[in-house]
Structure 1
Amino acid sequence: MQNLTALLLSLSILLATSHASVQDFCVADLTLPAGPAGYSCKSAANVTAADFVFTGLRKGGNTTNIISAAVTPAFDAQYPGLNGLGLSIARLDLAPGGVVPFHTHPGASELLLVVQGTLVGGFVSSFSNQVYVKKLVKGDLMVFPQGLLHFQINGGGTTTVAFASFGSANPGLQITDFALFANNLPSVLVEKTTFLDDAQVKKLKSVLGGSG
């Protein structure tokens, strides 16, 4: 009986503590740096309706670049009201021939919805390097599991628009090509780790802004 009483008391304290820690929201205070758990909360007295609205996805991004594509994120850094809520979204605009190269989101899975045009999406599994590729048309969805290398390509003749939702307010992004060739890692090390020759590595570094 004594043990049961102690257990019930512990549970009541735990539940009371958990309830006390719940808040409706934690709008990001962008004047402070983000930590592993996200941004600190803005003072409730300074929160406005504008913190919960984002208008940056109304227009397409500029696709005049090396990949003929634009990704417009609505993550916690751009959309403070998402902070701590475990979700976010981005707009993808791909001109004809445009590509979002192999990349990963270490913090979340991605669910992609095509709303205009067509694209080919694919990802590579980590346990067998199995490739999953599919052509998507307007209205189609494709999921890209967290942390796996994936890509999107517009092989059609018109601009493609898609929206990618994520299970994190900050899913993170690392584009493989830029990670390899847009840095100052000595070319000899890049060559050893990629099996590319010196001329190929230096050409890619030149195109993507790397050095070394």
Structure 2
Amino acid sequence: MAAKILLLALLALVSSQAIASDPSQLQDFCVADQNSQVFVNGLVCINPNLAKAEDFFFQGLDKPGNTMNKNGFNATLVTAMQIPGLNTLGISLARLDFAPYGLNPPHTHPRATELLTVIEGTLYVGFVASDNKLFTKVLNKGDVFVFPENLIHFQFNPSNANAVAISGLSSQNPGLITIANAVFGSNPPISDDILAKAFQLDKKTVDWLQTQF
């Protein structure tokens, strides 16, 4: 009897793990219907007989993004919203442009691992593991670095020349949480009492930081 109970428990565990994984494709593709008002986990498919080559095509990654902002950084995204044929395929792409000393601030992608390749210039990159250990590297043209899913990471251009990178992401919708924006720019704002205690700051400093976001 005990052996049967153990067997059933193991089967339940295996089943729960299988259910928790991403489903496999049930068709060749699922081109997104970007005009659908139906909400699902992803995007609704159009009739596959209506799909065309343009649904799997995007052009423009040869064009630099606008880095005239306070961070000197721009990301040009290629997700299922730009290429409808990416829907359900679990992948997306971004071109990252850095002005001299430009910064992609500490952030996370809650649904994706990121694989970054430097195309031009130099980048100082890093991520923080769950035990607060920092992993950093200086990357040059042709170098590749991986940022594990949902870990806080950043990229910084330490030189006086522009830098360009391409990032592959393991989700059609990786998401983006920029840490400073989320903490000091939430809507409605997090209580300054909470933030002052969490960051060991006085409330005036917290209030000033909240006005910056």
Same fold (TM over 0.5): yes
Alignment match, 1:174? 177
Superposed, 1:34-53 pairs within 5 Å as 35=39, 37-53=41-57
Aligned-residue offset at 1:122 = 0.1
Distance 1:34 1:81, change over 3 A: farther
Q: Summarize deviations over 1:77-134 as a string: whole Å, max 9, x none.
A: 22211111111100100101111111111111000000000010000001x2110000
Q: Summarize deviations over 1:37-91 as a string: whole Å, max 9, x none.
A: 3101012243221110011422111111111100111111222111111111001
Contact 1:113–1:164 (8 Å) recurs in 2: yes
Partners of 1:29 and 1:87 lie apart in 2 by 18
1:159 to 158, 162, 168: 162
Structure 2 length normalisation: TM-score?
0.82
Does residue 97 of structure 2 align to residue 93 of structure 1? Answer: yes
Q: Which residue type is aligned with residue 176 of structure 2?
A: L
Aligned-residue offset at 1:33 = 5.3
Aligned-residue offset at 1:206 = 1.8
Partners of 1:136 and 1:59 lie apart in 2 by 22
Distance 1:206 1:77, change over 3 A: same
Stretch deviating more after TM superposition (55-64 or 165-174)? 55-64
The answer for unaligned runs of 5 or more in structure 1 is: 1-20
Stretch deviating more after TM superposition (35-44 or 128-137)? 35-44
Aligned-residue offset at 1:182 = 1.6
Partners of 1:200 and 1:151 lie apart in 2 by 24
Structure 1 length normalisation: TM-score?
0.83
Alignment match, 1:120? 124
Distance 1:34 1:69, change over 3 A: farther
Q: Identity over the aligned pairs, expressed in percent?
A: 43
Alignment coverage as a number of residue pairs: 187
Does residue 89 of structure 2 align to residue 107 of structure 1? Answer: no
